[in-house]
Structure 1
Amino acid sequence: MLHLRLITPADRTEDVVRLIEKTVGTTHLVVMPGAARNPAGDVVMCDVAREAGDELIGGLRRLGLDDTGSIAVENIDLSLSRRADKAEQEAPGEGADAVIWEHLAEATHEESTLSVTYVAFLTIATMIAACGVVLDNAVLIVGAMAVGPEFGPLAGFSTALVQRHPRLALRSLTALLVGFAVAMAVTVGFSCLMDGVDLFTKVQLEAQRPNTNFIYRPDAFSFVVAVLAGIAGTLSLTSAKSGALVGVAISVTTVPAAANAAVAFTYTEYRQAWGSTAQLLLNLLGIVLAGTLTLLAQKWLWARQRERTAKAGGC
């Protein structure tokens, strides 16, 4: 269930209440006239089944409530109510399959913003991965994958393509390009420093490295795994199961590939640098492609579900 807290101008409250009452899957409607002070207006609260949430939020935005008042949405972790159970049963589809597009756009907007924190995490992850590739240490590689925040902009770019949101697409692409450019540039400097204190050597980089040489040797499985990870990551975002994102992060070699390219460039090992760059691009492409197709499939399936529900209601 979702909980909505709305601030409505007094002259729009009745329209908002009617919309809530006619939306299947809503319950626990509360109206507090004149309770809001900034902005001034009425406060309306209700609970809605997740599968009906996107329809209701879209209707509220069409009423202009996001401009004239406020729409706040939060997840309900526990609701002990027969009315809530009935609302979820009446709402079409399954809550786990529902996509709250406004929430997805907001979440990916935040995650795809080029910020100091984002660049710091990506840079630190790349430097950890650099240690991993030189030491041929798979544990460090996995750790670097988990630290890397690059899935946010990738999900944001996929969402922007599906929702036709050019500003979000540009923001996400900027975060990816600038973030990786800064992270790799800093890692080159980090590699020079480590070489200067004899902690990194070219001999280590050019060794067999059985645990990490896959990073600069992309193959068909690199793309397949990236596609599968992109699907899993997108589903975890749209279903609010964020725990799956950790598994997604350690399934793709974006950060390790960037790190290996940076270290290889430092030692003028251009064969590895090119192979690592190809691995990075292949993974990015696979994740974006999978994320976009997954969102399109979810959008189409949910539209079909609504059509069937509307026909059943008409009969």
Structure 2
Amino acid sequence: MRYVEVLIPAGSEESVFEVLEEEEIRYVVSESVSDEEYAAAVRFPLPSDAVERVLDRLREVGIGTDASAVVIDAEAIVSEQTDYPRSRSARGAIGGDRISRQELQAKAAGLTPTFPVYATMTLVSAIVATAGLLLDSPAVVVGSMVIAPLIGPALATSVGTVVDDPALQSTGLVYQISGITIAILGAICLASITRLVGLEPAGIDIVAVAELEERVAPNLLALLIALGAGVAGVLSLTRELSEAIVGVMIAAALIPPAAAVGIAVSWGIYGAAVGAMVLVLVNTLSINFAALVTLWAAEYRPANLFAVTTARKQTIAMATLTGLLMVALLVPLVGATLVELEAAQLESDVETDVDAVLADPAFDGVETTAVSVELGDDYPIRSLDQLVIVLSGPEQGPDPALVERLVAAADRHVDEPMTVTVEFVAADHTEIGGEVAAPSHGGT
């Protein structure tokens, strides 16, 4: 429920009362107003999904442009005579219980802090995320998402487009572009300093760190995360759910990938930087696209009927542009996904053949420990680089004949030159056999 208070300019009292009576609203009038420009103040309760209709009707009689209206969230109204006719309530395509357009605009603007605060919080979030990625610490990365104030700008752009609010739209766009830029630059600075003073973990491939690797070679699942964040963000805003939780989800789609861009650039791994940047852009576009579609489906429109056409054109143009850019950027994501699927299928096929070979009584006691495919470093779309077969068994080590049969079995599933490595581990898990490598299809 909402409790609405409207200041009525002198001479407009009858028009306001007529609207309220036509809408069957019980109201209270106060004629003591400090500003002489206003004749009275009227107060009345409304269901949340009826506020937009009533305020629009009052706007038609001149209330709203030269008067102030305050909408208060009422926890409870103890009365059986305050029910507003449900047939008059706004009905969105995604349920009717939504906040009014006026409240939506105010909340979208309220979630966007002043630019100095926004820039500072985004920078701090990016620095924390960069540290978390370098330390391979999921907890620290999650903490960086909580700090980031990204939900406001992400939703302000879409809200401003749908309801034809140019100021809100441009603010959201500027904040989003600035936020991504600040996050990447902050990550580059911290990663460069870390590398310069030698604080990075020694002797490892930096992009092989688990928290970082998944962001420099993203797959199509990243798109689903961003689309879900956009839809959830709008629903949280329009249905009065927790924006904080959804804000973390939006930050999860943007801040760690932006930090990954900075780390990859600092280490000079530009292919990985491209992969992470593609993820940042795809996630940003996906969040905006999902928010636009969800808001339009919920039937949010401008108050002015003449502005509806403009808003529709803007929404279609923005959705089309973001959709086309998403499709263009999906190429590397699709490529990475196909490579991962190919690797998974190869592992499954080879493991089946390895088990068949080991079923031979001549190799009694030898078992398969793992079959894995290692990908190359050609980011962002990696290729199959090496097939590793790990065996365990008696201490005398692997039989050369067994190695040859395993390599031959793997060959049947390999379509391009790839190194097949067979590693042997003793049954007590002490490695004694080392590794035996054999090239497949000419090898490398």
TM-score after normalising by structure 2: 0.62
Q: Do the aligned partners of residues 207 and 46 (structure 1) sit closer, same or farther apart at CA in structure 2, a change above 3 Å counting?
A: same
- Range moving further from structure 2, 72-81 or 192-201: 192-201
The DSSP-based 3-state class of the residue aligned with 2:149 is: coil
Question: Which digits, 9 at most, give the CA deviation of each residue in 1:81-138, with x for residues without a partner?
Answer: 1123x33756546796224111111222333465111111111111111011111111
* CA-CA distance at 1:78 after TM superposition: 1.9
Distance 1:39 1:145, change over 3 A: farther
Q: Deviation of residue 246 (structure 1)?
A: 1.0
Question: Post-superposition shift, 1:224?
Answer: 1.3
Counterpart position of 2:127: 127
SS in 2 for 1:73: strand
Question: Is residue 215 of structure 1 aligned with residue 212 of structure 2?
Answer: no
User: Which residues of structure 1 form unaligned runs of 5+?
Assistant: 302-315
Which structure is higher in RCO with an 8 Å CA cutoff and minimum separation 6? 1
Deviations 1:227-258 (A, max 9, x none): 112111100101111x1541452364201011
Task: Give 1:58-73 correspondences, 5 Å limit.
Answer: 58-73=56-71
The residue type equivalent to 1:87 in the other structure is Y
Q: 1:141-166: per-residue Cα shift (whole Å, max 9, x none)?
A: 22212221112111111112222333
Is 1:87 the equivalent of 2:98? no
2:65 maps to amino acid: D
Instruction: Tell me which amino acid in the other structure corresponds to 2:51.
Output: G
Letter in 2 for 1:155: L
Once the two structures are superposed, the pairs formed by residues 36-185 of structure 1 within 5 Å of their partners are 36-37=34-35, 39-84=37-82, 86-87=83-84, 91-92=88-89, 97-112=97-112, 115-185=115-185
Q: Assess, with a 3 A threshold, how the Cα gap between structure 1 residues 266 and 64 changes in structure 2: closer, same or farther.
A: farther
Letter of the aligned partner of 1:188 in structure 2?
I
CA spacing shift, 1:145–1:88, aligned 2, 3 Å: farther
Other-structure match for 1:281 = 281
Contact 2:52 2:90 in 1 (8 A): no
Match of 2:187 in 1: 187
The answer to which structure has the higher helix fraction is: 1
Write the distance in 2 (CA, Å) between the matches of 1:184 and 1:46.
Answer: 49
Cα distance per residue 1:155-193 (max 9 Å; x no partner)? 111112222333322221111111221232233222233
Shift of 1:268: 1.6
Query: Are 2:226 and 1:226 equivalent residues in the alignment?
Result: yes
Counterpart secondary structure, 2:208:
coil
d(CA) in 1 for partners of 2:10, 2:59 = 16
Residues 120 and 38 (structure 1 numbering): CA distance in 2 closer, same or farther, change over 3 Å?
farther
Q: Which moved more, 1:199-208 or 1:267-276?
A: 199-208
**TM-score normalised by length of structure 1:** 0.85
Distance 1:248 1:107, change over 3 A: closer
Whole-angstrom CA distance in 2 between matches of 1:182 and 1:229: 21
2-side partners of 1:253 and 1:300: how far apart?
A: 26
How many residues are matched? 297
Structure 2 vs 1, CA of residues 298 and 202 (structure 1 numbering), >3 Å: closer, same or farther?
Answer: farther
Q: Is the 8 A contact 2:183 2:255 kept in 1?
A: no
Q: Secondary structure at the match of 1:69?
A: coil
Deviations along 1:241-286, whole A, 9 cap, x unmatched?
1x15414523642010111111221222212211111111111111
Q: C-alpha distance in 1, partners of 2:113/2:246?
A: 23
Q: Which amino acid aligns with 1:63?
A: V
Match of 2:310? none
Which residue of structure 1 aligns with residue 248 of structure 2? 249
CA–CA distance in structure 1, aligned partners of residues 205 and 297 of structure 2: 43
Measure, in 1, the Cα distance between the counterparts of 2:278 and 2:56.
41
Give the aligned partner of residue 7 of structure 2. Answer: 7
**Residues 38, 3 of structure 1: alpha-carbon distance in 2 compared, 3 angstrom cutoff:** farther
Residue pair 2:6, 2:70 contacting (<8 A) in 1 also: yes
Partner residue, 1:305: none
Query: What's the RMSD between the two structures over aligned residues?
Result: 2.5
- Provide the rounded CA distance (Å) in 2 between the counterparts of 1:130 and 1:158: 29
Any idea what SS the aligned residue of 1:46 has? strand
Q: CA deviation at 1:292?
A: 0.6
Query: What SS does structure 1 have at the residue aligned with 2:65?
Result: helix
SS in 2 for 1:37: coil
Q: 1:99 touches 1:238 (CA, 8 Å); kept in 2? A: yes
SS at match of 1:228: helix
Letter in 2 for 1:22: E
In the alignment, the residues of structure 2 paired with residue 8 and residue 300 of structure 1 have an alpha-carbon distance, to the nearest angstrom, of 26
Aligned partner of 1:31 in structure 2 is: 29
- Which structure 2 residue ranges, 5 or more long, are not aligned? 302-444
Residue matched to 1:312: none
- Greater C-alpha radius of gyration: 2
Contact 1:145 1:253 in 2 (8 A): no
Q: Is the 2:188–2:263 contact (alpha carbons within 8 Å) kept by the matching residues of 1?
A: yes
244 and 220 in structure 1: CA distance in 2 versus 1, 3 angstrom threshold: same
Query: Mean alpha-carbon deviation: is it higher for 203-212 or for 71-80?
Result: 203-212
Equivalent position amino acid for 1:133 in 2: L
Helix, strand or coil for the counterpart of 2:299? helix
Where do 1:272-311 residues align within 5 Å? Answer: 272-299=272-299
Paired with 1:3 and 1:127, the residues of 2 have a C-alpha distance of 43
Q: Hey, what's the Cα distance between the residues in 2 that align with 1:164 and 1:293?
A: 15
Identity rate, percent: 22
Q: Tell me how far apart the structure 2 counterparts of residues 49 and 143 of structure 1 sit (CA, whole Å).
A: 37
